[in-house]
Amino acid sequence: GANPYGEPLSIANCGTGFLEWEIVEDCPWLQAVPTSGRLTGHVAKVAIKPEIAGLMHGQHSALIKVTSPDATNSPRPVMVVLNVNAELNVPRDYPTIQAAIDAAMPGDVVLLEDGVYTGPGNREITFRGKNLTVRSRSGPAKCIVDCELKGRGFHFRQGEGPDAVLEGLTIRNGYVPASWPQLSRGGGIVCEASSPTIRRNVITGNRGSGICCQR
């Protein structure tokens, strides 16, 4: 996609007189604007701008240094971390929903094509604590997770927050035994110490309950 906006880096002169500063970096996907300046008793704002063209999906890091011949703490290192997000397609790119989630990074989108998803990897699905989006291409009428009464649909249990999104699926035939504790009986979805965003889904025909939430 498009390059993200630059993140601001603040450089402050905490002493008296002038502060001559310069930014030193050697990273092909990173640009600092401006790269040098002269400060009195105020703050300079530097834009740290990434160029994501040609970068692989994943996390990238670079170290830049703010230097000044007169500063007592020069050079001052600043770590820049860039996450290049992607859209992971099931089943084109990954054979199961869980396989795509396992390969995804926070901020990615796992896109499900139309169809009925069954079998291992398409039930007892967990986001693994990642704040990402799992959604269908065409809505719940055409994208169905069928647990076949062999387990539950989704289990949020690693502190996922509102940026973990489950959208546009039908989840059916989830199953948990009646002998399990009541707080664990969500056949469709269980949210355990997690608070994901669950929207525009159809949850039907599940044994135990549709959604079970517990702290």
The pLDDT value recorded for residue 32 is 94
Average pLDDT over residues 59-73: 92
Average pLDDT over residues 28-45: 91
Of 62, 72, 105, nearest to 87 (Cα)?
A: 105
The pLDDT value recorded for residue 179 is 67
The pLDDT value recorded for residue 187 is 87
d(C-alpha 184, C-alpha 71), whole Å: 58
Single-letter code of the amino acid located at 199: R
Average pLDDT over residues 66-75: 91
pLDDT, tens digit (0-9, with 9 covering 90-100), for 179-208:
666 555 678 999 999 999 999 999 999 987
- pLDDT over 60 (residue 68): yes
56 CA to centre of own chain: 16
Q: Are 188 and 210 in contact (CB under 8 A)?
A: yes
- pLDDT over 90 (residue 176): no
Q: Give the list of residues 6+ apart from residue 66 with CB closer than 8 angstroms, or none.
A: 9, 11, 21, 22, 23, 24, 74, 75, 76, 78
The pLDDT value recorded for residue 178 is 67
Average pLDDT over residues 16-22: 90
pLDDT, tens digit (0-9, with 9 covering 90-100), for 127-149:
999 999 999 999 999 999 999 99
The pLDDT value recorded for residue 184 is 56
Q: Give the list of residues 6+ apart from residue 134 with CB closer than 8 angstroms, or none.
A: 97, 101, 109, 110, 112, 127, 165, 166, 167, 169
- Token digits for 173? 């035939």
Single-letter code of the amino acid located at 108: D
The pLDDT value recorded for residue 208 is 77
